[in-house]
Chains A and B, each alone.
Chain A
Amino acid sequence: MVTLEHVTKTYQKKNIGLEDVSVHIAPGEFVSIVGQSGSGKTTFAKLVIAEEKADRGKIIVGGWDITHVRHHAIPTLRRQIGVVFQDFKLLPKKTLFENVAFALEVAGQSTKRIASVVPQLLKIVGLEQKMDRFPDQISGGEQQRVVIARALAHRPKLLVADEPTGNLDSINAQEIIALLQKINEFGTTVVLVTHNREIVNMLKKRVITLDHGHVIADQRAGKYLL
């Protein structure tokens, strides 16, 4: 599903994001990308969703070589990848329904389809009863669940979650991880970028550990090493 071959990404002032990283993530896998701050976790996520471009190497997502993806092709790529961020990125003036519908609206989906799909998505994340509420009327955990519902709107084969539990308490964090696991069980590849030791150890799934832009460990059923 995701392949990085000798990928290097350097920022200004020779600040290394990733250096000569080679990783292969198979379809249907649940992979945690862990590491301390500045280890290159977020760079990894940004390269996969084409928010950044690699200086060297090759990136393949879903069989599509996105190393030199053209600007106009990025929206098509993004519709195949669900993205969840730590800071939710919900629109405060839109209801939960409208926030999820927004992803389908910008993709040109019909109003009829949106009306049928959005309640289903909100049901998956357990918020079908609150679809008319606004983001500031629900908890942080619920907000993150709305973001996951929105990320699933295009039925992506890959879900990239960059620190999805970073702003949540442990109970809400557990719920979000359980939801991601459920999504993974339905066949979606999940790439979880996190520095939450508890969660990584609990998952007992594949763990790729990054340090200063290098892969220092890749365990099949790993633990948080650092």
Chain B
Amino acid sequence: MTTLWRMIKFGYQNFWRNIWLSLVTVLIVMLNLFLMSVVMGVNVVGQQTLIAVKQKVNLSVFFLPTISEQRVGEIGKELALKPEVASVKVTTRAENLQRLKNDPRYGSLVKSAVAELGENPLGASLEIKAKTLDGYATIAGYLRDKKYADFIDPRNGIVADNLQANNLLATIVHRIELAAAWLIVFFGLIALLMIFNTIRVNIYTQREEIGIMKLVGASDAFVRGPFVVTSIMYGLLASVLTTILLVPLLTFANPYFNQFFAGYSVDVLGYFQGHLLIILGLEVAVGCGLAMLSSLLAIGRYLRV
């Protein structure tokens, strides 16, 4: 325990004796951790958007006006039993008419058509949500079956809302994920090289002390330990500062995010606040992990004990 404490003490001394070098290292590691966080943030936003859009995907099935709402309800119950179906919602003829009337694009046209016909020309409809995106094709297959096909409006009876947009977004998000992974590796490598170089300089400036340590019987671990402690201090400080820096930055950017994602439940600041401990833990793990790895590499390469 005494030895560990002394290694920490010597590591701390290393940090302060080369304070400018330490500060520059922490700043550059911070910058890289920050960029890694931004890249990961973009990734999270992509995923969140995908989830938000997925929630808006559904299959709308419009039945002929001659089919009774009771029959539509029965079909809905039958479909709800299918393994691919998550939920089925029945919309009555009146509700469909009201929805169209409320739509500013078609409102006046519908009103005049209803006035001319003297009755509601719309049928009831079903709003089906599948458990997975692949499920929509299967559900559409069931609906094309003779059992149901005759009841459905032959013109635009089956409409997959937002499915295409979702598929496009999924492709984009997947590409972003791939690019993000490479960028994280790239920034991680820069942080690794930076700490590696700093530890190399530390070893060089303390070669006299290292020689004396060896001379008076210091173990290998005792000679190496303080350099690992110093690098962990770089990683720890950089990761904590990066997390702290993210708070005002996200607070500032959050209204712009909200504006951009209007209508979708994407809350970047809320996500950050809700996952603060996980994010901090991740930053510390990445920062300290990189620091330890680079210091061990530098020690192995330059510190001859």
Contacts and interface: CB of A to CB of B under 8 A. Distances in A.
Interface of A: 71-72, 75-79, 83, 89-91, 93, 102-103, 105-111, 150, 153-154
Nearest to A111: B2
Main secondary structure of the interface of B (DSSP, over half): helix
Contacts of B222: 106, 108
Nearest to B13: A93
B215 A78 contact: yes
Nearest to A82: B216
B118 interface: no
B6 A89 contact: no
Q: Chain B interface residue count: which class? A: 10 to 19
A78 B216 contact: yes
Contacts of A107: 216-218
Contacts of A108: 2-3, 6, 222
A75 B218 contact: yes
B7 to A, nearest CB: 10
Interface in B192-216: 208-209, 211-216
Contacts, number: 53
Which among B6, B212, B213, B220 has the highest number of chain A CB atoms within 10 Å?
A: B212
A106 B218 contact: yes
Given A78-B214, A154-B217, 7 more contacts: A75-B217, A78-B216, A78-B217, A79-B217, A105-B6, A108-B222, A109-B2
A106 B213 CA distance: 7
Given A108-B2, A111-B2, A103 B216 contact: yes
A85 to B, nearest CB: 8
Contacts of A111: 2
Contacts of B216: 78-79, 102-103, 106-107, 150, 153-154
A151 to B, nearest CB: 8
Contacts of B2: 108-111
Given A108-B3, A111-B2, A76 B212 contact: no
B214 A91 contact: no
A139 to B, nearest CB: 20
B63 to A, nearest CB: 83
Interface string B203-244: 000001101111111111010000000000000000000000
A84 to B, nearest CB: 10
A77 B216 CA distance: 10
Contacts of B214: 75, 78
A52 B259 CA distance: 71
A75 B208 CA distance: 17
Contacts of B220: 71-72, 75
A80 B217 CA distance: 9
**Which 3 A-B pairs have CB atoms at the shortest separation, nearest pair first?**
A106-B218, A78-B217, A79-B217
A72 B212 CA distance: 17
Contact of B212 (A75, A91, A109): A91
Nearest to A77: B217
